[in-house]
Amino acid sequence: MKKTVDEALAREFGLTSEEYARVLSIMGRTPSLTELGVFSVMWSEHCSYKSSRKWLRTLPTKAPWVIHGPGENAGVVDVGEGYAAIFKMESHNHPSFIEPYQGAATGVGGILRDVFTMGARPVANLNALRFGSPETPRTRQIIDGVVRGIGGYGNCVGVPTVGGEINFHPAYDGNPLVNAMTVGIARKDRIFLSAAAGIGNPVVYVGSRTGRDGIHGATMSSAEFDENALAKRPTVQVGDPFIEKLLIEACLELMATDAIVAIQDMGAAGLTSSSVEMAGKGGVGIELDLDAVPQREPGMTAYEMMLSESQERMLMVLKPERTEVARAIFEKWELDFAIIGHLTETGHIVVKHKGQVEADIPLDPLAEQAPIYDRPASAPVVPPALENVHAPLSLDAMLLKLVGSPDLASRAWVWNQYDSTVGGQTVRRPGAADAAIVKIEDTTLGLALTTDCTPRYCQADPRTGGAQAVAEAWRNITATGARPLAVTDNLNFGNPEKPEIMGQFVAAIEGMGEACRVLDFPVVSGNVSLYNETRQPDGTTMAILPTPAIGALGVLDDVSKAVGLSMVDNADIVLIGETKGELGQSIWLREILGREEGAPPRVDLSVEKRNGDFVRNEIQTGTVKACHDVADGGILVAVAEMVMASRIGCELESPTSGIRPEAFWFGEDQARYIVCVPNAADFCARAEQSGVPARLLGRSGGRDLILPSGVTISTARLVTTNEAFFPSLMAN
């Protein structure tokens, strides 16, 4: 397998001819195979963000509570009492299509490492999943593998999976999205960073041995899929959550000492990216001796070792006098520990193997001359507002159809395969509140966590959709009583070389940025996944819906004040926020009329903030006993969800406004909440004082959902309909 390094090979490795010319000019000679491998992965879309960087820079990333924003392994925010929350979301889309179980499992493993490498104990996992049409045969197989993979990894490492979201759409048939998020907790004065320092300091490799798996994974995930996608299975890594668990415990034990100078996990592009980034950030050189790398199989070449994406590995720079302390800890946990190199003052990465220099690359130009593209973007054409549409069915029939539909059906079948209680700090489990609530042990603090995006809105109007994703995450955190602090974003789009896709990307970022600024909700970490397209047999390609998934974190100073979405008995039910009846791009329109049309609901960020601040304040003062935001499916679906969660019924009043009933009950106007309060009159008076629209919607009690017409739907019928979808889909 001796390969000749030339432009053709460079192109095979994913570099363009121009990029290869730049490699030649930096090196002043033809690179070796290993060197070409290093350039190709470091300059891949996955590692270099070459198409997205220009736009990512426009996002707000600062706030007084932000300790570390983008650029580190994960974002770090101050949550009070001396603690920091460390979090990030990352995609594992391409591997999860090729090999759903391992793709999803290693996605969880990778994001866990990004968080504990900074010194945090992981305390919660979430995810954001998009699958193809339920009717597509492979969808079932992908769901089965992805759910088993997420559970198989998260359950074993003992980090509770507390939340997430799932959408279905045919646009994900050939390219599902698996976005995994991890949240960890550390003392805020004990954060570990990746910048290497100290000439001569040892570079230490810990964790699993290096094998031939995942070679060029980062390159694979930077290209479209073609009909041969499944043949790429060897580029998918294989996870070992047991080793990861040992690695977490060993690293945290070592982090309690003063031995570590810098640490980074070996994620995409493995040993290459970790060593290049650590040395680059620290402004030092690094020399690696690959003979010392723990290897799973004999005969591996330098090229293979540098590009392997074997999982559960970490790279550290240690204080030389503390290496034996560190070795003892890793030996206790029965993990490999090897000194594989040292820091130098050359400013180069030098890779030696069997006495030969296999790579010698200057680090500054590798980073600074990395390509960055300002790709042409065509502004998205936003569809006109929806014309008048009419309900073909009765209100109760439409409600039952909606609560049983794929996007609104109960996710219990999925959640029940994820351990959500391990750690003993889960205050609100999946489905119990708009955001999951996890207590910080030994404090009164609670973290509110959610993932959100409405891809059908983003497809119709990426700018509004980007803003809506941020606003919905902010709203979900607010609805528990928590103070929203920061977000991590996972930007999943198609091929950025197409102007219309780049246009979606730019518009979505603009919308997100505006929402983050108005809501004081900075982006502290994130990940970009492009080329989510599948070539069809007829030669055309199908892109996914633009999916800028938002993972968000908020804090409750007193976690006992958190509220859930379960209806409480004998309460007034109040709707907060204005209802115009926006049915464009609604779930109702899609599920009842079979149409995906119109403009998505408008997002007015100042109204969002005003309404949310009022709701949060009312929850904090204890007047709100339950709260649920109004999202997919509108008011009636939100009420039904509160009824199903509690098995407590309610009687609804007729809307007096001049809006058609289907628009009132199923419209997806933003910035709205439904709350249970003891006394609606007092509550609405306070709302009015704050300039917040609020109106009585009905009263809770009994076992049935009673519509204004007097038509009654039993709680049991709602629950049975809601819970049928997943088990029946997966039983076939």
Partner 1 sequence: MKSAIVVFPGTNRERDMAIALKRVTGKAPTMVWHRDTQLPDADLIVLPGGFSYGDYLRCGAMAAHSPIMAEIRAFAQKGGHILGVCNGFQILTETGMLPGALLRNANLRFLSQDCTLRVERDDTPYTHKWKKGDVFRTPLAHGDGNYTADAETLARLEGEGRVAFRYASPDGKVQNDDFATNPNGSVNSIAGILSENARICGMMPHPEDLVDPLMGGEDGLPLFEGLVEAIVR
DSSP track, 562-620: ---SSPPTT-EEEEES------TT-HHHHHHH----SPPPP--HHHHHHHHHHHHHHHH
Q: Does 158 bind partner 1 (CB under 8 A)?
A: yes
Instruction: Please say which residue, 227 or 331, places its beta carbon nearer to partner 1.
Output: 331
Q: Does 398 bind partner 1 (CB under 8 A)?
A: no
Question: In angstroms, what is the minimal distance from the CB of 649 to partner 1?
Answer: 20
Q: In degrees rounded to 5, what are phi and psi of residue 380?
A: -65, 145
3-state DSSP: the chain helix, strand, coil percent, rounded to 5? 40, 25, 40
According to DSSP, the β-strands at 533-535 and 650-652 are: unpaired
- Among 27, 84, 156, 318, indicate the residue that binds partner 1 (CB under 8 A): 156
Q: Which of residues 199-238 bind partner 1 (CB under 8 A)?
A: none
The answer to whether 678 and 623 have CB atoms below 8 angstroms apart is yes
Q: Does 423 bind partner 1 (CB under 8 A)?
A: yes
Residue in the block written with tokens 């929402």: 515
Instruction: Please say which residue, 1 or 731, places its beta carbon nearer to partner 1.
Output: 731
Question: In angstroms, what is the minimal distance from the CB of 390 to partner 1?
Answer: 41
Instruction: Please say which residue, 361 or 427, places its beta carbon nearer to partner 1.
Output: 427
Q: Does 175 bind partner 1 (CB under 8 A)?
A: no
Angle among Cα 399, 402, 406 to the nearest 5 degrees reads 160
Q: Does 559 bind partner 1 (CB under 8 A)?
A: yes
Question: In angstroms, what is the minimal distance from the CB of 298 to partner 1?
Answer: 23
Alpha carbons within 13 A on the beta-carbon side of 577: 33
Q: Does 416 bind partner 1 (CB under 8 A)?
A: yes
Q: Does 424 bind partner 1 (CB under 8 A)?
A: yes
Instruction: Please say which residue, 251 or 268, places its beta carbon nearer to partner 1.
Output: 251
Bridge partners, residue 651, by sequence? 699, 706
Q: List the x/- string, 243-262, binding to partner 1 by CB under 8 A.
A: x-xx----------------
Binding residues for Mg(2+): 90, 114, 265, 527
Binding residues for ATP: 49, 88, 489, 526
What's the CA gap between 551 and 179, in Å, rounded?
10
Residues across the chain: 732
Question: In angstroms, what is the minimal distance from the CB of 159 to partner 1?
Answer: 8
Q: Does 184 bind partner 1 (CB under 8 A)?
A: no
Question: In angstroms, what is the minimal distance from the CB of 79 to partner 1?
Answer: 17
Q: Does 109 bind partner 1 (CB under 8 A)?
A: no
Candidates 92, 169, 342, 353; catalytic one? 92
DSSP state of 225: B
Q: Which stretch binds partner 1 (CB under 8 A): 390-398, 412-420, 471-479, 655-663?
A: 412-420
- Among 157, 177, 180, 447, indicate the residue that binds partner 1 (CB under 8 A): 157
Beta strands in 404-463 (DSSP E): 426-428, 436-439, 446-452
Instruction: Please say which residue, 16 or 242, places its beta carbon nearer to partner 1.
Output: 242
DSSP track, 33-66: HHHHHHHHHHTSHHHH-TTTHHHHTTS----TTE
Q: In degrees rounded to 5, what are phi and psi of residue 112?
A: -60, -45
What's the CA gap between 177 and 114, in Å, rounded?
19
The answer to whether 325 and 377 have CB atoms below 8 angstroms apart is no
Binding residues: 49, 88, 90-94, 113-114, 237, 265, 309-311, 489, 526-527, 529
Q: Does 155 bind partner 1 (CB under 8 A)?
A: yes
- Among 92, 130, 281, 439, indicate the residue that binds partner 1 (CB under 8 A): 439
Candidates 46, 68, 216, 348; catalytic one? 46
Q: Which amino acid is at 595?
A: R
Instruction: Please say which residue, 224 or 240, places its beta carbon nearer to partner 1.
Output: 240
Q: Does 180 bind partner 1 (CB under 8 A)?
A: no
For the question of residue 169 being annotated catalytic, the response is no
Q: Does 431 bind partner 1 (CB under 8 A)?
A: no
- Among 69, 122, 241, 522, indicate the residue that binds partner 1 (CB under 8 A): 241
Q: Which stretch binds partner 1 (CB under 8 A): 254-262, 416-424, 508-516, 577-585?
A: 416-424
3-state secondary structure of 10: helix
Beta strands in 225-372 (DSSP E): 260-265, 285-289, 313-318, 336-344, 348-353, 356-362
Q: Does 429 bind partner 1 (CB under 8 A)?
A: yes
Q: Does 140 bind partner 1 (CB under 8 A)?
A: no
Measuring CA to CA, how many Å separate 563 from each of 276, 443, 574? 46, 18, 15
Question: In angstroms, what is the minimal distance from the CB of 412 to partner 1?
Answer: 8
Residue 453, H or E segment = none
For the question of residue 92 being annotated catalytic, the response is yes
Q: Does 415 bind partner 1 (CB under 8 A)?
A: yes
What's the CA gap between 494 and 474, in Å, rounded?
26
**Size, binding site for partner 1 by CB under 8 A:** 34
According to DSSP, the β-strands at 523-529 and 483-492 are: parallel
Q: Does 419 bind partner 1 (CB under 8 A)?
A: yes
H helices of 356-498, where?
A: 363-368, 395-403, 412-415, 455-460, 462-478
- Among 427, 471, 627, 640, indicate the residue that binds partner 1 (CB under 8 A): 427
Q: Which of residues 1-60 bind partner 1 (CB under 8 A)?
A: none
Q: Which of residues 322-361 bind partner 1 (CB under 8 A)?
A: 332-334
**Residues labelled as active-site residues:** 46, 92
Residues binding partner 1 (CB under 8 A): 148, 151-152, 155-158, 240-243, 245-246, 332-334, 415-427, 429, 439, 441, 559-560
